[in-house]
């Protein structure tokens, strides 16, 4: 069976961070995750990840998804792969893909195409290469009339070798059994005193085995990040790449400022994305929606013609023709049915909101089930938490919740219930009833004048123009 070894031992000193470099994110996902998903997309799912610097952070991130091996000293790329020998020996029958955990743009197509060359040429090793205008810093591919003879690192190269523009991407296919034997032959006799994985090419040839190169059309597969500036450049490239894909699918962008759409997001044709909108993984957006400006959508499913105007929404779903905003926070596990309107300064959490309901302004609805065509007045609050437990509120279809109603959970309101403004609902309300909870209003005439006279002896009452009037 084919397997993969991903090198993720590097620190990335120039990042100036206490984190392994492959965990730095490009478009919301660690670079390591991009590399893992390229393997998975190419149907290589038996993976071992080589960790080194802050290896426990790699384990924590992977959370047991894949095997890891520790390289406790950083002695070169060949030495890193040697740490995977027990993993390789579990099944020596197939091929092993070696990838760098900090070059996120390797893709499944390149991996598959290189494997075809690797197999048809019956190679012990096939290196994936690309041509760069500026090859500085990369290992150069030394071609011969019939194939390749080796890879020379920048620090070991002479002038003629430095002029070569075809470089090593750091990705390879190996016949697993040959890889194990070649690793045993690598020495650290070079300018950096490291065990170079690249030496496997010339070693294979001197062992009478075939070595080949697959040149990728896509030079982006080479790109990695050595510092924060490189990381920003990777993010910029990935961001525009995703936006271009959506443009082809009929999504509209009037300007791309501050728009970040993560890789797996799906968006229907005719949807317009306005500046400052971030759409994160797991989101599926319907057609003809209008999203933004300044909106965050994470792991949400949206129907068609949804309008989110300055909204933050997480782990929730919205039906067709829902309109929300501005300044609305939709917290996880909320479902909003079609035609519903949510207005400014509303927070919803773990609730189901029925069709054509309106929550127009300044409300908190948490842990609640609200029916269809309900009108929730301004300032309505579900009092869902007593400091120990969270409980639910239920509101029946066609109800009208007056402004500043408090619903003390657990409480159930029937169908077409009215609550008077300011009511605190502490018990269930039957269908078609009005609940009113108010003291009798008293009017104490002349109160203000009496108060001022007794306290300060006169009544200078502002007239609103910064002047005062004596009474």
Candidates 2-10, 230-238, 330-338, 357-365; binding stretch for ligand UD1 (CB under 6 A): 2-10
CB-wise, 77 or 351, nearer to ligand UD1? 77
What 3 state SS string does the chain have?
CCEEEEEECCCCHHHCCCCCHHHCEECCEEHHHHHHHHHHHCCCCCEEEEECCCHHHHHHHHCCCCEEEECCCCCCHHHHHHCCHHHHHCCCCCEEEEEECCCCCCCHHHHHHHHHHHHHCCCCEEEEEEECCCCCCCCEEEECCCCEEEEECHHHCCHHHHCCCEEEEEEEEEEHHHHHHHHCCCCCCCCCCCCCCCHHHHHHHHCCCCEEEEECCCHHHHCCCCCHHHHHHHHHHHHHHHHHHHHHCCCEECCCCCCEECCCCEECCCCEECCCCEEECCCEECCCCEECCCCEEECCEECCCCEECCEEEECCEECCCCEECCCEEECCCCEECCCCEEEECEEEECCEECCCCEEEECCEEECEEECCCCEECCCCEEECECCCCECCEEECCCCEECCCCEEECCEEECCCCEECCCCEECCCECCCCEECCCCCCCCCCCHHHHHHHHHHCCCEEECCCCCEEEC
**Of 4-12, 32-40, 178-186, 203-211: span binding ligand UD1 (CB under 6 A):** 4-12
Nearer to ligand UD1, 15 or 411 (CB): 15
Task: Please state the closest distance from residue 74 (CB atom) to ligand UD1, in A.
Answer: 4
Q: Which is nearer to ligand UD1, 102 or 262 (CB)?
A: 102
From residue 46 to residue 85, the character string flagging contacts with ligand UD1 as x (rule: CB under 6 A) and all else as - is: ----x-x------------------x--xxxx-xx-----
**Catalytic residue from among 246, 329, 361, 460:** 361
User: Please, what is the minimum distance in Å from the beta carbon of residue 203 to ligand UD1?
Assistant: 13
Q: Considering the rule CB under 6 A, would residue 111 count as an interface residue with ligand UD1?
A: no
| 95 near ligand UD1, judged by CB under 6 A | no
Taking the complex as a whole, the smallest distance from the CB of residue 196 to ligand UD1 amounts, in Å, to 4
Residue with the closest Cβ to ligand UD1?
Answer: 139
Of 99-107, 399-407, 426-434, 447-455: span binding ligand UD1 (CB under 6 A): 99-107
Is position 354 an interface residue for ligand UD1 (rule: CB under 6 A)?
no
Q: Does 196 bind ligand UD1 (CB under 6 A)?
A: yes
Stretch that binds ligand UD1, among 97-105, 265-273, 372-380, 401-409 (CB under 6 A): 97-105
Provide the minimum distance between the beta carbon of 110 and ligand UD1 in the complex, in angstroms, as a whole number: 14
By rule CB under 6 A, what count of residues binds ligand UD1? Answer: 27
Q: Cα(103)–Cα(76) distance, rounded to whole angstroms? A: 17
**Using CB under 6 A as the criterion, what x/- string covers residues 133-162 for binding ligand UD1?**
-----xx-----------x-x---------
Select the residue interacting with ligand UD1 from 96, 126, 168, 423 (CB under 6 A): 168
79 classed as catalytic: no
Report the catalytic residues: 361
- Give me the residues that bind ligand UD1 (CB under 6 A), please: 7, 9-10, 50, 52, 71, 74-77, 79-80, 100-102, 138-139, 151, 153, 167-170, 196-198, 224
């Amino acid at each position: 069976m084919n397997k993969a070894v991903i090198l993720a031992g590097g620190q990335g000193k120039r990042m100036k961070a206490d984190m392994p470099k492959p965990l730095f994110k490009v478009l919301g996902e660690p670079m390591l995750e991009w590399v893992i998903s390229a393997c998975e997309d190419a149907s290589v799912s038996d993976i071992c990840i080589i960790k080194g610097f802050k290896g426990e952070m790699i384990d924590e991130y992977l959370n047991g998804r894949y095997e890891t091996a520790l390289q406790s000293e950083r002695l070169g790329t060949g030495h890193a792969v040697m740490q995977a020998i027990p993993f390789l020996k579990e099944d020596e029958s197939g091929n092993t893909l070696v990838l760098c955990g900090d070059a996120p743009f390797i893709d499944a197509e390149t991996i598959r195409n290189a494997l075809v060359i690797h197999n048809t040429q019956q190679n012990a090793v096939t290196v994936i290469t690309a041509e760069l205008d500026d090859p500085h810093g990369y290992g150069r591919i030394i071609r011969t009339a019939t194939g390749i003879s080796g890879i020379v690192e920048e620090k070991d190269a002479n002038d003629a070798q430095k002029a070569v523009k075809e470089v090593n991407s750091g990705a390879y296919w190996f016949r697993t059994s040959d890889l194990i034997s070649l690793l045993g032959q690598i020495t650290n006799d070079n300018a950096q005193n490291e065990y170079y994985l690249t030496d496997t090419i010339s070693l294979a040839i001197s062992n009478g085995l075939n070595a080949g190169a697959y040149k990728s059309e896509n030079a982006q597969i080479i790109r990695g990040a050595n510092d924060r500036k490189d990381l920003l450049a990777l993010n910029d490239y990935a961001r525009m790449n995703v936006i271009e894909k959506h443009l082809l699918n009929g999504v509209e962008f009037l300007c791309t400022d501050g728009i970040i759409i993560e890789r797996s997001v799906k968006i229907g044709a005719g949807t317009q994305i306005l500046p400052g909108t971030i759409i994160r993984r797991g989101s599926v957006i319907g057609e003809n929606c209008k999203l933004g400006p300044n909106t965050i959508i994470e792991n949400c499913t949206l129907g068609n013609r949804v309008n989110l105007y300055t909204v933050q929404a997480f782990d929730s779903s919205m039906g067709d023709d829902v309109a929300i905003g501005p300044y609305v926070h939709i917290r996880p596990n909320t479902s909003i049915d079609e035609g519903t309107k949510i207005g400014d300064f509303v927070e919803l959490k773990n609730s189901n909101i029925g069709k054509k309901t309106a929550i127009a302004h300044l409300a908190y609805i948490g842990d609640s089930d609200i029916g269809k065509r309900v009108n929730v007045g301004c300032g309505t609050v579900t009092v869902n938490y007593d400091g120990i437990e969270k409980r639910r509120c239920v509101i029946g279809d066609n109800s009208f919740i007056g402004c500043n109603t408090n619903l003390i959970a657990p409480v159930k309101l029937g169908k077409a219930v009215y609550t008077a403004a300011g009511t605190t609902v502490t018990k269930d309300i039957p269908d078609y009833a009005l609940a009113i909870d108010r003291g009798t209003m008293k009017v104490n005439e002349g109160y203000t004048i009496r108060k001022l006279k007794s306290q300060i002896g006169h009544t200078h009452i502002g007239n609103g123009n910064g002047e005062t009037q004596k009474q």
